[in-house]
Amino acid sequence: MKKLSSLIFSLFFLFLLTFSAQAEIDVGEFPQNAEDEFVLNPAAVDVEVWQQNLNVPWELLFLPESNRALVTERSGRVLEIINGKLQPESYLKIDIVSRGEGGLLGMTHHPNFPETPYIYLMYTYTSASGQQYNRVSRFKDQNNQAGEEEIILDQIPAGNYHDGGRIAFGPDNMLYITTGDTFNREIAQDLDNLGGKILRLTPEGSIPEDNPFNNSLVYSLGHRNPQGLAWHPETGELFISDHGPSGEEGLRAKDRIKVVEAGSNFGWPDKIGYFENGEYANPLIMWKNAVPPSGMTFYRGDLYVGTLRSQSLLRIEVSRENNNFEVEKIEHLFNNGSGDSVYGRIRTAVAGPDGYLYFLTNNRDGRGSPRENDDKILRFKLE
């Protein structure tokens, strides 16, 4: 069955690429100097299982001023964890489309939570006309369950692949949303289309007055399938992860980490990689081999990134000199670089309020090899 699923997946990509006559993509340099290192069993890292037997968990959210956490499952459930114990009843169930990479995805809470007790969710659905979309809604937290839905942003482009899906409030108390190109890569350069972008909204869903483009939710454009958001703890600058090509124009891999400024255009699908001419913004990291990176967080000063195909937790050490970030070290934790992985596919990493670094496996998503009691939420603490 697994081989059949892989064959269908490959044939679908071939179909899309065959019937997608588009301009050639210019490929630039790899910007980082650091080489990837692989550490199957990192020293001083004692990993423990926090939760298990989950169904493709996508996001983990700790609620302020409480002993509660929430986790989304891509099939449409939000589960509640109280004092470290998974509750038997769902906090929320949503009627969603969970084919391919769509489904119940990112989650965050209002920046003034619990005084303003809203939980925000991004999910994929099918409209009455049969059109597939992504939507961001908020639900009033009522302790053990969610209240009625209030739609914040609707009709974000959706597809079986490249839905983006990460949402988070930034240091400016604005809501940031990552959206994918849904394998229609020309939309990433269209300011009138919400796909292939980083969007920025007020908590109520309106356009902030200081957004970089007039009367637009777009904060940054030219992205393919961004799935990670994190702000540097000292400078407040926005880091994102983005998936590289999986066959477009014969190109593969080239997954990226980017530092995003307001109004920056990273060039997809016109270009990918580092260019000296400055026409487009450049990535901080681009990989030669397929990673691809998903959710991420800063923890103990380093950037930790969950990866899917490379089945590792990335630890990226960066420094900042002359207003630019430099990559000092890239480590693939829990993988030896030769096909052995301790935990398999990792969807995201989250810094907990208790000093632990949490990460979520996604081995039951149809592309992984489930281990016993997968999927899991694991954690470790560094002193």
Residue 78 vs residues 91, 105, 237: alpha-carbon distances, Å:
5, 10, 30
pLDDT tens digits for 145-170?
999 999 999 999 999 999 999 999 99
- Distance in angstroms between the alpha carbons of the first and the last residue of the chain: 44
Q: Is 333 helix (H, G, I), strand (E, B) or coil?
A: strand
Strand intervals (E) in 40-174: 48-51, 57-62, 68-73, 77-82, 85-86, 92-93, 104-109, 118-126, 132-141, 146-157, 167-169
Q: How do 146-157 and 132-141 pair as beta strands?
A: antiparallel
Q: What is the dihedral of CA 260, 175, 348, 6, to 10 degrees?
A: -90
| pLDDT score of 345 more than 50 | yes
Q: What is the mean pLDDT of the chain?
A: 94
Asked, as a colleague might, if the bond just before 269 is cis with ω within 30 of 0, I would say yes
Quickly list DSSP for 189-249.
Answer: G-TTS-TTEEEEE-TTSPPPTT-SSTT--EEEE--S-EEEEEE-TTT--EEEEE---BSGG
Residue 339 vs residues 128, 147, 184, 314: alpha-carbon distances, Å:
45, 45, 32, 16
What are the beta bridge partners of residue 259? 239
Residue 383, pLDDT score = 86
Residue 56, pLDDT score = 97
Q: What is the mean pLDDT of residues 119-126?
A: 97
Q: List the alpha helices (DSSP H) in the chain.
A: 2-18
Residue 97, pLDDT score = 85
* Sheet-wide strand order for 377-380: 48-51, 377-380, 357-361, 346-351
By the 8 A CB rule, do 25 and 269 touch?
yes
Q: Which CATH number is correct for 32-380, 2.120.10.30, 3.30.360.10, 3.40.50.300, 3.20.20.220?
A: 2.120.10.30
| pLDDT score of 4 more than 60 | no
**Residue 294 belongs to what H/E stretch?**
strand 293-299
Q: What is the mean pLDDT of residues 175-199?
A: 98
Give Cβ neighbours of residue 180 (< 8 Å, ≥ 6 apart). 101, 157, 159, 161, 162, 163, 164, 165, 195, 196, 223, 224, 225, 226
Q: Can you give the residue ranges of every domain in the chain?
A: 32-380
Share of the chain above pLDDT 90, in %: 91
Residue 278, pLDDT score = 87
DSSP conformation class of 25 = P
Q: What is the mean pLDDT of residues 340-363?
A: 98
Burial of 247 (0-12, 13-18, 19+ CB in 10 A): middle
Residue 20, pLDDT score = 44
pLDDT tens digits for 224-239?
999 999 999 999 999 9
How far apart CA 217 and CA 199 sit, in angstroms, is: 5
- What the block records as the tokens of 6 is 């892989």
Q: What sign does the CA torsion over 198, 202, 208, 210 have?
A: negative
| pLDDT score of 7 more than 70 | no
Residue 22, pLDDT score = 57
Which amino acid is present at 4? L
Q: What is the mean pLDDT of residues 69-83?
A: 98
Q: What is the mean pLDDT of residues 254-277?
A: 97
pLDDT tens digits for 268-323?
999 999 999 989 999 999 999 999 999 999 999 999 999 999 999 999 999 998 88
Q: What is the mean pLDDT of residues 326-355?
A: 98
Residue 316, pLDDT score = 98
